[in-house]
Amino acid sequence: MSLTLGQVLALFGAALAVGLPGIGSARGVGIVGESAAGLVTEDPGKFGQALILQALPGTQGIYGFLAGFLTIQKIGLLAGNLVDITPYQGWLIFASCMPIAIVGFLSAIYQGRVAAAGIGIVSKRPEEVAKGITFSAMVETYAVLALLATILMLFGINI
């Protein structure tokens, strides 16, 4: 099987779309996990609330995975026969992967920091956990928008 430059570029974009937000989410979830573990040492009963906060920065990884999946579906890799892609189209696909790759990576880390601060809310005023979740969701907005941009760009490219 001989690959064209276009196909390589598209796959490279997909790899970045899955990889970078994945790293970001891992870090975000990790940051919250560290605070959460400290909280649970003191009060094991708050595990559930802490877990919700920890799950929040994990979505960027899922968004990235989603974008990557849609990309490899678009170039026909899933069906087993790669579509012939010109370098020009390859660059387009690569570009459309960038919003979620970059924003997903960074926003997951920032969201992780907000959620980790939310652990403080859980420890002192557990009844107010919804507010901590909301603060954290504010950060995620931009990951959602980036995902949306990626998807719309991807669907707009004709192969």
Distant-in-sequence, close-in-space partners of 90: CB < 8 Å, separation ≥ 6: 4, 5, 6, 7, 8, 9, 10
Distant-in-sequence, close-in-space partners of 123: CB < 8 Å, separation ≥ 6: 39, 42, 43, 46
> If you ran DSSP here, which 8-state letter would residue 81 be given?
S
**Is 52 a binder of another protein (CB under 8 A)?**
yes
Please say which residue, 59 or 123, places its beta carbon nearer to another protein: 59
**Is 69 a binder of another protein (CB under 8 A)?**
yes
Q: For residue 76, give the H/E element and its range.
A: none
- From the list 4-12, 29-37, 55-63, 87-95, the region that binds another protein by CB under 8 A is 55-63
- From the list 22-30, 62-70, 86-94, 114-122, the region that binds another protein by CB under 8 A is 62-70
Residue 24: name the closest of 133, 112, 135 by CA: 112
- From the list 10-18, 22-30, 58-66, 117-125, the region that binds another protein by CB under 8 A is 58-66
**Is 138 a binder of another protein (CB under 8 A)?**
yes
Phi-psi region of 97 (alpha: psi -120 to 50; beta: other; left: phi over 0): alpha
**Is 152 a binder of another protein (CB under 8 A)?**
yes
Which residues lie near another protein (CB under 8 A)?
A: 52, 55-56, 58-59, 62-63, 65-66, 69-70, 78, 130-131, 133-134, 137-138, 140-141, 144-145, 147-148, 151-152, 155
